[in-house]
Amino acid sequence: MLVSGSGTILESMLRAAVDVALVCADRPCRGLDVAFASGVESLMVDRKSYGGFADSFDREGFTVELTEALRSRDVDLVAMAGFGTIVTGTFHRAFPGRVLNTHPSLLPAFKGWHAVTQALEAGVSETGCTVHIATEALDDGPILARRRVPVLSGDTEESLHERIKLVERELYPLVVTRVMASLSEGIEPSLLAGTLEEAE
């Protein structure tokens, strides 16, 4: 699992008994503490070593180190969980079709970093979360599952996002579990696209 923040999705994976082999972060964060407390191997590929958040950030250099770190541990499925660094094609070519992500909207609507705000500004009556296969194009990979969340009168970005997160913490572990089971049967994640829609 790739993390950058509080580790709440990681906690939901562990509660669901997902076999997390490695947690990797791109910065110091609580997610690493969650991994340590749970006895899961963790490491940090710190983007600060590649220029941090400056315009000079060496994205490819960071991506290569991250890719090599995961490949050296025989990782065969990657689940992004609020991972705050966009990686290059090098990463996706190393794990073709095996990088999962969760996004706080009903993709293809509201791609990008401000999906919840965009949903509120658009005045939609519902939004939700989507688990999809990550590709080089941001939030554009094959959709594995979505779950709807109503937008309530008076919702703020914070209140709506928190309700989406509650659903996300249920849906993402479920999808990852199903993908892992399929991989054990020789079925690639891309073949599951559309089959887990509104997964329960």
Catalytic positions, please? 103
Residue 73: φ, ψ to 5°: -105, 15
Please give the DSSP secondary-structure letter assigned to residue 16.
T
User: Which residue is it, tokens 């890719």?
Assistant: 67
Residue 148 identity: R
C-alpha to C-alpha distance for 122 and 160, rounded to whole angstroms: 14
Can you read off the two tokens belonging to residue 14?
Answer: 């562990």
Q: What's the N-to-C CA distance of the chain in angstroms?
A: 22
- 66: CB partners within 8 A, 6+ apart: 2, 24, 26, 45, 87, 91
